[in-house]
């Protein structure tokens, strides 16, 4: 399961850690914990459906399963000016993590763009050359070619 990080507190916790791996353009941060559930109360005791007994049942939210992965991306506009490029990189990051999911430890993951791609080398915002370079770099970050 690959969830999405949405709370700024999770991003801040991950940014405070040392990078798990780093390349020329990307940095990957990892924490082996579950995301914070800001504004959500603890799960309540819910009665069993279709039962006449007073037994109570505790339902564990799907987000708190111990073997889950949550992914967040940080693609600053100052490093990737074009929205087409940011969306392309976001899709490539998600595909790279999906491809290596069985090899990655569970927890919180953030992939952030740390250096811009040379605009002169990639005149098209969604060029095949940019796609191939970013895909190869992301595969190296997550441990070789996907299985």
Number of H helices, E strands in the chain: 3, 7
Other CB atoms within 10 Å distance of the CB of residue 114? 15
Q: Which domains does the chain have, with CATH numbers?
A: 2-36+64-141 (3.30.230.10)
> Please, which residues bridge with residue 103 across strands?
none
Phi-psi region of 101 (alpha: psi -120 to 50; beta: other; left: phi over 0): alpha
In a 3-state reduction of DSSP, which class is residue 10?
helix
**Is the entire prediction scored with pTM above 0.85?**
no
Average pLDDT, the chain: 81
d(C-alpha 18, C-alpha 16), whole Å: 7
pLDDT tens, position by position, 23-82:
999 999 999 887 766 555 433 333 334 445 555 444 555 545 556 899 999 999 999 999
1 or 71, which is more confident: 71
Which is it for the CA torsion 122, 123, 129, 131, positive or negative?
A: positive
For the stretch 82-141, pLDDT in tens is 999 999 999 999 999 999 998 999 999 999 999 999 888 887 888 899 999 999 999 999
Q: What is the pLDDT of residues 3-27, one digit of tens each?
A: 898 889 988 998 899 999 999 999 9
Please return the burial class of 64, using the count of CB atoms within 10 Å of its CB with bins 0-12, 13-18 and 19+: exposed
DSSP letters spanning 25-83? SEEEEEESSPPP-TT-PPPPEEEPTT--S--EEEPPPGGG-TT-EEEEEE--TTT--SH
């Amino acid at each position: 399961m690959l969830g999405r990080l949405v709370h700024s507190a999770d991003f801040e916790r991950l940014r405070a850690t040392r990078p798990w791996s780093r390349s020329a353009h990307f940095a990957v941060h990892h924490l082996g914990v579950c995301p914070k559930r800001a504004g959500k109360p603890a799960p309540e005791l819910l009665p069993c459906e279709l039962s006449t007994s007073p037994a109570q049942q505790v339902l564990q939210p799907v987000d708190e399963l111990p073997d889950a992965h949550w992914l967040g991306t940080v693609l600053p506009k100052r490093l990737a000016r074009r929205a087409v490029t940011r969306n392309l990189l976001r899709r490539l990051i998600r595909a790279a993590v999906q491809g290596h999911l069985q090899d990655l430890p569970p927890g919180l993951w953030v992939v952030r763009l740390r250096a811009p791609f040379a605009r002169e080398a990639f005149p098209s915002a969604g060029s095949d050359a940019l796609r191939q370079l970013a895909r190869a770099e992301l595969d190296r970050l997550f441990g070789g070619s996907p299985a």
